[in-house]
């Protein structure tokens, strides 16, 4: 049965939690139909819900396939079942669909044959505690009524096999309860022995379907009964006689003769050993004997039983005061050539792998205990002296540990910086090895270098300093050596191509996660140039890896990297490789185009200017895509609006008109003087501002002591700053424009003041200011 929470919609439109229980599809004797039944997990005598499944399309799945809802017509409200797992939700949903399909068939068959006036008795709903009259009649079909298993006798094997193979999903619980009667399972297996002694092949085929059907009932207690110590071999033996296979299987022979239970440290508890044996047999049935016939629900039950058994075994070993200390004592006292050492390392691998299924507190307790017993010292010894297989196991142990908490492993390295322990971890990347081993080492390095897992700043500084001072240079050197002239073949001695790609991935990770450390290391050691040497490799996926590193640097949108790329002309080798690739539509072509498109969309102005000014002519021939045409258009737009980064903006027509107006007004001001009324007006304005005495605003004087009639403005400026004399004054001009937009109220025109001129555009605000300041 599947674990669910039951909710009911109340009158306020809110969901009321009615409790947690286990749901199943069962035959309802009172209503003579099938329905959903939820039994409380706290009180097995309390029913949370009884719902008769109807033919109408009222059922819906929601919430990522873990919720089934419907509007119940018999109680007049909405009901929801929230499942713990999506597999259980799918199982119940399939049963509902099957029940509806069967009801529709029965309705079609009985539409003209049923007598009128027959009705169904009401059912009891736990929400209302009342019987509700039903509608229509659903006669009992062959797979909807109660089921009765015949006795375990030789003559009843055909009937029993037929019943178990034809059971509907909502009859399984009742059949499982009957199969769990005392002595029933053992009696069936005794009959199997008799059939095998008599070589009765027909009866052996029936026994196969009986045992298979019993397992497919998906009952945990029944599975444990069949797989108990006294019954397991007979159960597996019955499953050897599959009539669909051309010959009999030999599962019992394999389990007896070839499967060996090894105890790296003796286990004193016999119950714990039995649990380990049962777990292995469950896995063997699931993966070897019955993979073709298991449905999703039964497969999930097998997986759950295996998981719970593993957790129980791990916790028992953790609580054993002697087991783990004895294990590490043997590991430290023996070496790679000693008997049992490989089994001990393999056991540690399996133990740390199972730790992932423990609760957070228990997993922390186990890994802390392993670290205190010398886990990291032993694994470093395996990496140094072990075979490739043992080194792979050691990296998987370390990966399981750092994925939970990388701090103990960092402390292990920082407390002994003079040793070569970290060098042992890097060796698969530096000198080659199995690809799986290299990938495991990369994941360990990522976990160790991830700053988000470094809770203390001192820890972060100490470990990162160790890495950047001593070890990252070795990784960069591998890239440089692999790209020397004459060493372009993949079989050249040195680091494997897979290791080169993984090193580039690690550098990409450092660029994204580390700020100033990787920046200054890149600047001092020309890291980008060394990575881009991979563009000369024959392996195209290594060429793409180099482009990916460059794309990672650009993706930060950091001015440091942008200036560095432009100053060292690092786009040159990339674009040369791109142009040499031609119009071939491959991963290299797509990677370069995506990088250029990103620069355009994000409007990285220094890079846009660099690409167009340095490579515009060469890229113009790439007209099979619009990427470079759009890049040039973005460059021209940036130039027009004066926002092309460090480069000067081109003068626009509005700027030219404003400069002419400024020059003309300045000439008029020099040739004429203020008349008396105008001079009095401006003098009065200055007196008012002097009386204010406030220092928050600056008097709007322009040129030779002439006050601006608009009053005070924010910022200090001069007439010189309003005219575009040279490059250094451009920024001042822009600042002056911003300041002049914040004006006070316009004063009334005084006698003798300048006549109002035609209004100029906003782009000619400089001309407007001088026009109103100039005397007539």
**Rounded (10°) angle between helices 341-354 and 375-385:** 130
Query: Is 655's pLDDT higher than 60?
Result: no
Q: Which of 436, 347, 445, 346 is nearest to 399 (CA)?
A: 445
Q: What is the pLDDT of residue 773?
A: 41
pTM exceeding the 0.85 threshold for the entire prediction: no
Query: Is 85's pLDDT higher than 90?
Result: no
Q: Which of 470, 380, 455, 377 is nearest to 425 (CA)?
A: 380
Which alpha helices (H) appear in 72-129, and where do they start and end?
Answer: 86-110
Q: What is the pLDDT of residue 538?
A: 87
- 476-489: pLDDT as tens digits: 998 888 776 555 44
Domain with CATH 2.30.29.30 in the chain: 2-132
Higher pLDDT among residues 365 and 766, named by residue: 365
* Degrees to nearest 5, angle at CA 481 with 479 and 483: 70
**Residue 723: pLDDT band with limits 50, 70, 90:** very low
The secondary structure of the chain in percent helix, strand, coil, rounded to multiples of 5, reads 60, 10, 35
The Cα–Cα gap between 614 and 19 comes to 71
Q: What is the pLDDT of residue 734?
A: 41
- Tell me the two tokens of residue 700: 């709007």
Give the 3-state secondary structure of residue 130. strand
Q: What is the pLDDT of residue 492?
A: 42
Q: What is the pLDDT of residue 776?
A: 39
Query: Is 661's pLDDT higher than 70?
Result: no
Domain with CATH 1.25.10 in the chain: 414-556
- 325-350: pLDDT as tens digits: 999 999 888 877 777 888 899 999 99
Name the helix (H) or strand (E) containing 48: strand 47-52
Which alpha helices (H) appear in 47-85, and where do they start and end?
Answer: none
Architecture of domain 414-556: Alpha Horseshoe (1.25)
- Quick one: fold of 2-132? PH-domain like (2.30.29)
- 687-716: pLDDT as tens digits: 444 444 443 333 333 333 333 333 333 333
- Only one residue has tokens 């119950």, namely 271
- 533-577: pLDDT as tens digits: 999 888 899 999 999 999 999 999 899 899 999 999 999 999 999
The Cα–Cα gap between 460 and 410 comes to 9
Query: Is 408's pLDDT higher than 70?
Result: yes
**Residue 145: pLDDT band with limits 50, 70, 90:** low
Residues 6 or more apart from 483 whose CB is under 8 A from it? 530, 533, 534, 536, 537
The size of the chain, in residues, is 776
- Tell me the two tokens of residue 612: 């167009």
Query: Is 226's pLDDT higher than 70?
Result: yes
Q: What is the pLDDT of residue 399?
A: 93
**Residue 633: pLDDT band with limits 50, 70, 90:** very high
């Amino acid at each position: 049965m599947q674990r669910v929470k039951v909710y009911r919609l109340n009158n306020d439109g809110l969901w009321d939690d009615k409790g947690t229980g286990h749901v199943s599809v069962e035959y309802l004797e009172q209503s003579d139909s099938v329905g959903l039944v939820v039994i409380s997990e706290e009180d097995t005598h309390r029913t949370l819900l009884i719902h008769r499944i109807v033919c109408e399309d009222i059922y819906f799945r929601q919430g990522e396939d873990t919720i089934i809802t419907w509007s119940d017509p018999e109680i007049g409200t909405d009901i929801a079942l929230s499942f713990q797992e999506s597999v259980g939700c799918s199982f119940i949903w399939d049963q509902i669909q099957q029940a509806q399909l069967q009801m529709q068939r029965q309705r079609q068959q009985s539409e003209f044959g049923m007598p009128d006036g027959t009705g169904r008795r009401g059912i009891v709903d736990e929400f209302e505690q009342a019987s509700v009259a039903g509608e229509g009649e659903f006669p009992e079909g062959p797979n909807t009524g109660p089921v009765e298993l015949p006795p375990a006798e030789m003559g009843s094997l055909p009937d029993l096999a037929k019943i178990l193979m034809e059971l509907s999903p909502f009859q399984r619980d009742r059949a499982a309860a009957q199969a769990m009667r005392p002595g029933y399972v053992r009696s069936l297996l005794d009959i199997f022995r008799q059939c095998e002694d008599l070589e009765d092949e027909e009866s052996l085929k029936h026994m196969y379907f009986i045992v298979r059907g019993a397992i497919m009932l998906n009952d945990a207690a029944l599975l444990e009964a069949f797989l108990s110590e006294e019954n397991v071999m007979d159960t597996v033996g019955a499953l050897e006689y599959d009539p669909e296979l051309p010959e009999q299987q030999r599962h019992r022979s394999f389990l007896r003769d070839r499967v060996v239970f090894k105890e790296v440290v003796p286990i004193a508890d016999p119950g714990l050993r039995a649990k380990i044996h049962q777990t292995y047999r469950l896995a063997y049935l699931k993966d070897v004997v019955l993979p073709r016939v298991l449905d999703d629900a039964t497969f999930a039950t097998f997986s759950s039983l295996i998981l719970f058994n593993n957790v129980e075994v791990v916790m028992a070993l953790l609580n054993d005061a002697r087991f783990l200390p004895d294990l590490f004592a043997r590991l430290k006292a023996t070496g790679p050539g000693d008997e049992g050492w490989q089994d001990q390392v393999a056991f540690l691998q399996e133990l740390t792998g199972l730790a992932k299924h423990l609760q957070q507190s228990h997993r922390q307790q186990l890994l802390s205990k392993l670290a205190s017993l010398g886990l990291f010292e032993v694994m470093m010894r395996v990496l140094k002296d072990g075979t490739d297989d043992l080194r792979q196991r050691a990296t998987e142990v370390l990966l399981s540990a750092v994925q939970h908490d990388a701090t103990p492993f960092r402390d292990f390295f920082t407390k002994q910086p003079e040793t070569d322990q970290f060098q042992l971890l890097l060796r698969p990347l530096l000198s080659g090895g199995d690809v799986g081993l290299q990938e495991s080492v990369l994941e360990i390095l990522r976990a160790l270098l991830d700053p988000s897992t470094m809770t203390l700043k001192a820890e972060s500084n100490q470990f990162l300093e160790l890495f950047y001072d001593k070890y990252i240079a070795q990784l960069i050197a591998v890239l440089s050596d692999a790209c020397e002239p004459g060493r372009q073949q993949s079989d050249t001695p040195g680091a494997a191509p897979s290791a080169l790609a993984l090193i580039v991935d690690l550098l990409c990770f450092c660029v994204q996660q580390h700020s100033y450390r990787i920046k200054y290391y890149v600047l001092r050691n020309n890291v980008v140039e060394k990575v881009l040497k991979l563009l000369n490799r024959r392996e195209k996926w290594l060429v793409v890896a180099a482009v990916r590193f460059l794309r990672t640097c650009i993706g930060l949108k950091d001015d440091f990297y942008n200036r560095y790329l432009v100053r060292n002309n690092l786009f040159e080798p990339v674009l040369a490789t791109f142009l040499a690739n031609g119009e071939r539509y491959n991963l290299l072509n797509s990677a370069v185009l995506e990088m250029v498109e990103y620069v355009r969309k994000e409007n990285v102005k220094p890079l846009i200017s660099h690409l167009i000014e340095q490579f515009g002519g060469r890229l113009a021939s790439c007209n099979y895509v619009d990427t470079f045409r759009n890049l040039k258009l973005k460059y021209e737009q940036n130039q027009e609006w004066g926002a092309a980064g460090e480069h000067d903006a081109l003068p626009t027509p509005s700027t030219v008109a404003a400069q002419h107006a400024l020059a003309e007004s300045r000439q008029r001001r020099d040739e004429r003087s203020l008349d008396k009324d105008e001079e009095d007006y401006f003098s009065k304005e200055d007196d008012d501002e002097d009386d204010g005495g406030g220092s928050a605003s600056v008097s709007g004087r322009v040129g030779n002591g002439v006050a601006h009639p608009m009053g005070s403005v924010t910022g200090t400026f001069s007439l010189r700053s309003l005219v575009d004399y040279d490059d250094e004054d451009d920024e001042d001009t822009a600042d002056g424009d911003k300041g002049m937009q914040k004006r006070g109220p316009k004063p009334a025109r005084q006698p003798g003041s300048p006549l109002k001129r035609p209004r100029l555009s906003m782009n000619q605000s400089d001309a407007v200011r001088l026009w109103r300041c100039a005397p007539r």
